[in-house]
Amino acid sequence: MAKSDYKGIWVFAEQQNGKLNGTVLELLAKSQELKEHTGEEISAVLLGKNVSHLTDTLFAYGADKVILVENDALENYSARPYEAALTQVAEKYKPSIILYGATSLGRDLAPRLMVSLNTGLTADAIDLGFDKDEVFYQTTPAYGGSILAHIVILEARPQMATVRPMMFEPIEPRVGAKGEIITETVTVEADPDYEVLETAPKQDTGDSIEGAQVVVAGGRGIKEESDLAALKELAELLGGKLAASRPLVDNGWLPHEKQIGQSGAAIKPKYIFNIAISGSVQYQVGMQNSGCIISINHTKGAPIFDISHYGAVADYRSVVPALVEEIKRRKA
């Protein structure tokens, strides 16, 4: 079948317990940019049971159509039924592009579709676009994050990618927006080898860096674990959270859930303070979309300064205590 027979930009509308994953809204926003190049409609593909109430949100955030697939076997995520359902509708409508969030669910489902549809897949993309020849590409860190690679799927269709969360900004919701709802019936059965006994929401300990508006992150240049106390104090004074790049987590100084970067969390706070962080590609992937980037590093040529709005070439041991004291003075 010719490539020209495949039309449409699809976003897999991941939901659990009737709530959309935030990455879906980000992908719908990016799809608006892709649509400017292709002229093709954006469809959100929504699988589940009793999830039709989510269609209004999908239209509000950019979907032209919603392909709604409801079935008892799709009530809770299970790889085989979801793969079968999505494969059936993809083979029927033949989209040109399918985007998934690089969540635990998306990373499980997308490779299965790659096999069932006999196509290509770019994993953990951080950007999407078209080159000067109007070829769709996906940008992803490669070789351990030391370079950024542009991946293209030249012949196989649909072109698929999982995209890391927090890479794009959702559009302002279009209040009252409407679109076409296409209800599809699929032939799927529950996985006999898999049974959901209970579901429970992820417990919020109140210390997560995801969603924090202010983050103070320490890196390899932090000389001693005890120095983190000053960074934590700065974070608390600013109403923020303490985080780290991978070396401090590898040292055992902070838990993995505090790690920013390719192998950690992708965050988008209003303000981030990078303390003694050189700014490797792996780290930048996790925070480059922050609102205001402030960095302190003793090396003038540190890569982190290339993406910073404000920077200080200085020893953090002198700057951080001074910041703490000044904030305390102003709060007094």
Residue 207 has pLDDT above 80, yes or no: no
Q: Which of 147-156, 166-175, 193-202, 215-224 has the highest mean pLDDT?
A: 215-224
Nearest-angstrom CA–CA distance, 44 and 58: 7
Q: 152 and 41 in one domain?
A: yes
pLDDT, residue 103, reads 93
Count the domains in the chain: 2
44/180 Cα distance (integer angstroms) = 11
Which band of pLDDT confidence, cut at 50, 70 and 90, is reported for residue 111?
A: very high
Domain of residue 279 covers 214-331
* Together in a domain, 221 and 179: no
Query: Do 295 and 237 have their domain in common?
Result: yes
Whether 301 is covered by a domain: the verdict is yes
Question: pLDDT tens-digit profile of 63-97?
Answer: 999 999 999 999 999 999 999 999 999 999 999 99
pLDDT given at position 4? 86
Share the mean pLDDT of the chain: 93
Whether residues 271 and 170 fall in one domain: no
Residue 112 within any structural domain of the chain? yes
Task: Examine the domain organization and report whether 171 and 233 are in the same domain.
Answer: no
Q: Torsion angle, CA of 269/273/278/279, rounded to 10 degrees?
A: 10
Q: Looking at residue 205, what is its pLDDT? A: 64
Q: Please check whether residues 320 and 180 belong to one and the same domain.
A: no
Amino acid, res. 44: A
Q: How far is C-alpha 167 from the chain's CA centre?
A: 6
Residue by residue, DSSP assigns 19-53 as: EE-HHHHHHHHHHHHHHHHH-PPEEEEEEESS-GG
> Is there a domain that residue 204 lies in?
no
Asked, for residue 274, whether it belongs to a domain, the answer is yes
Give the CATH number of the domain where residue 297 resides. 3.40.50.1220
Residues 163 and 51 in one domain: yes
227 with 160, same domain: the answer is: no
Is residue 220 over pLDDT 70? yes
Specify whether 44 is located in the same domain as 168.
yes
Asked if residue 139 belongs to a domain, the reply is yes
Give the closest residue to 316 by CA, choosing from 258, 254, 229.
229
Sort 168 into a burial class: Cβ within 10 Å, 0-12 / 13-18 / 19+.
buried
Q: Are residues 172 and 228 in the same domain?
A: no
Q: Is residue 125 part of a domain?
A: yes
Whether residue 1 has pLDDT greater than 80: no
Q: What percent of the chain has pLDDT over 90?
A: 81
**Is 52 inside a domain boundary?**
yes
Percent of the chain with pLDDT over 70: 98
| pLDDT digit string, tens, across residues 235-286 | 999 999 999 999 999 999 999 999 999 888 889 999 999 999 999 988 998 9
d(CA 136, CA 96): 10
163 and 279 belong to one structural domain: no
208 lies in some domain: no
The pLDDT value recorded for residue 146 is 67
Q: Are 168 and 133 in contact (CB under 8 A)?
A: no
Query: Which of these ranges, 59-63, 120-124, 139-143, 249-253, has the smallest mean pLDDT?
Result: 139-143
The CATH number given to whatever domain includes residue 177 is: 3.40.50.620
In this structure, the answer to whether residues 92 and 230 fall within a common structural domain is: no
User: What pLDDT does 144 receive?
Assistant: 67
Residue pair 60/174 in contact by the 8 Å Cβ criterion: yes
Got the DSSP string for 172-189? PP-TT---EEEEE-----
Both structure tokens of 110: 């997308």
**Spatial separation of the C-alpha atoms in residues 209 and 222, rounded to whole Å:** 19
